[in-house]
Amino acid sequence: MAVNFRSAFSQIVWLQVLAVAATSLVMPIAIYVFLERTVADYQVKMLGERAQVLLKAMTPGPQGRVMLPSSLTEPYAQEISGFAFSISDGGGRLLISSATDRLALAPLPATRASQMFRRKTGKGAYVGVSVPEDFHGQPIWIQVEQNQDNPDVVLDDVLARFLPAVIGLSVGVLLFLLLADIFIVRRALGPIVAASGLAGVISPTRMDLRLPTKRMPSEILPLVEAVNLAFDRLEHGFRAQRDLTADVAHELRTPLAVLRLRAESLAEAQLRARILADIDVMTRLVDQLLSVAELEMVIIAMDETADLHLACLEVVEHLAPLAVKQGKAIELEGSEGPVWVHGRPEMLFQAVRNLVENAIRHSPTGGAVTVAVEEDGVARVLDRGPGVPAELKDRLFERFWRARRKERSAVGAGAGLGLSIVAQIAEQHGGRVSVGDRPGGGAVFSLVLRPAPRGAVVG
């Protein structure tokens, strides 16, 4: 059975549990067996010594029997001592025994070598030894046994108590070790888990992050350093791209200025107006390109806050004369006091301004653009223009999104980068921008931002 472990931690834990379980079983049993052997050896030795004592005290008796002094045999005869002996000849005939039934204690071994025997009767469990000896040239068997149940016999009782105790103790100790191990492994894996979490946060808006190398296990360190190096290259690539965009945009400005001056001196009024309008479109695009490049590397700190209401107010103030000049109106409504959100004031201003410029562009003459600020950090820009078809709603915020002519007229060719900048700013603020239909006709652009506690650090 091969189980596939996805997690190093669970792999370590499960295998440790198995090892601990196996050890918990095997160790006590092994110890027990060893101890039991030792006890048995000791008993055999002790009984063997008794057999020698008997041998030395034996004297031949009538009819081939043997005789033992009663001082020696008396303890055996008393049941309370727990000892018994029997001596048989080579053929198996009982010569003398302490047992009342006058039988050999146990069957004699087949080979002439010392052997241990055990027997159990209603009176108890006996351990004994059969020792082959020579007595005046005749082979005899001396058997001595001891009743284990006798209170004087301590060893087996100790052993019996020993096993559950040692199992309990070893299981306890091993369990503790297991828990300690789990804690240790967790701790060792800690930096790796943390680094993984951090790696997940890295994004274009947070290009400055690097994985920590302090406390990183040496096995993982090369990997982490390689990842950090990759991030360095990524950041470098982003910066290079941004700088290129910015440089190109800057370089375009002077030729555009030259072009504009030449165009201004054109005699034909209509042609001049058209060309100047085209140059303005190009200029706005250049401005937006620079905006995008600058925004790309912006990182908003956790504690930067801005007043959304103020940003909207400033946008409306700034664009009102322009709107009126085009025969359109613009108004501000909603929350009257500050609306604090996480973010940077000038970026919020830019986002709202782009939305409002877009709304003004699509409003009919005589129409009004409404900017509404809500207390939970939402700014909405509403217009009475043609609205946005359902299938275009998501694509509006893409950069340089190409529209078919029909769609372009619905949304306007001047979209360019403006809305994608709004989306970019929204993303960097941890918010989002979306467009929906306005009841009664037109579009509603919603800029949703993260509310912040009242007036922390103002950016």
Partner 1 sequence: MRLLLVEDNADLAELLLQALARHGFTADVMPTAGDAEEAVSSAHYAAMILDLGLPDEDGLLLLKRLRKQGVQMPVLALTARGSVTDRVDGLRAGADDYLVKPFAVEELAARLQALMRRPGDLLGEQLTVGDVSLDLQSRQVLVDGKPEPFSAREVDLLEILMRRAGRVVQKAFVEDHLFGLNAPAGSNAVEVAVHRLRRRLQGLGARATVHTVKGVGYFIAETKA
Please report, as ranges, the residues that interact with partner 1 according to CB under 8 A: 250-251, 253-254, 256-262, 264-265, 276, 279, 283, 287, 290, 294, 313, 316-318, 320-321, 324-325, 327, 329-334, 346, 371
* Angstrom distance (rounded) from CA 215 to CA 136: 83
CB of 235 to partner 1, least distance (A): 21
At position 446, the amino acid (one-letter code) is S
Torsional class of 341: left (φ above 0), alpha (ψ -120 to 50), beta (otherwise): beta
> Please, which residue, 157 or 264, has the CB nearer to partner 1?
264
DSSP string, 352-398: HHHHHHHHHHHSPTT-EEEEEEETTTEEEEE--SS---GGGTTGGGS
CB of 255 to partner 1, least distance (A): 9
Q: Between the CA of residue 230 and those of 195, 225, 243, what are the distances in Å?
A: 15, 9, 20
> Please, which residue, 70 or 365, has the CB nearer to partner 1?
365
CB of 197 to partner 1, least distance (A): 35
Torsional class of 426: left (φ above 0), alpha (ψ -120 to 50), beta (otherwise): alpha
> Please, which residue, 191 or 367, has the CB nearer to partner 1?
367
CB of 374 to partner 1, least distance (A): 14
* Angstrom distance (rounded) from CA 274 to CA 268: 10
Per the structure block, which two tokens stand in for 269? 């009024």
Contact present, 382 and 372 (Cβ < 8 Å): yes
CB of 377 to partner 1, least distance (A): 18
> Please, which residue, 3 or 269, has the CB nearer to partner 1?
269
The H-or-E segment that residue 332 falls in is strand 329-334
* Angstrom distance (rounded) from CA 4 to CA 197: 24
> Please, which residue, 207 or 347, has the CB nearer to partner 1?
347
CB of 316 to partner 1, least distance (A): 5
CB of 192 to partner 1, least distance (A): 41
CA atoms within 13 A on the CB side of 365: 3
> Please, which residue, 158 or 458, has the CB nearer to partner 1?
458
How much helix, strand and coil, in percent to the nearest 5, is found in the chain?
55, 20, 25
**Helix runs in 128-268, H state only:** 155-201, 221-264
CB of 397 to partner 1, least distance (A): 23
Q: Please report where in the chains the tokens 């940003």 appear, as a residue.
A: 311
CB of 281 to partner 1, least distance (A): 12
Which pairing describes strands 138-147 and 124-135: parallel, antiparallel, or unpaired?
A: antiparallel
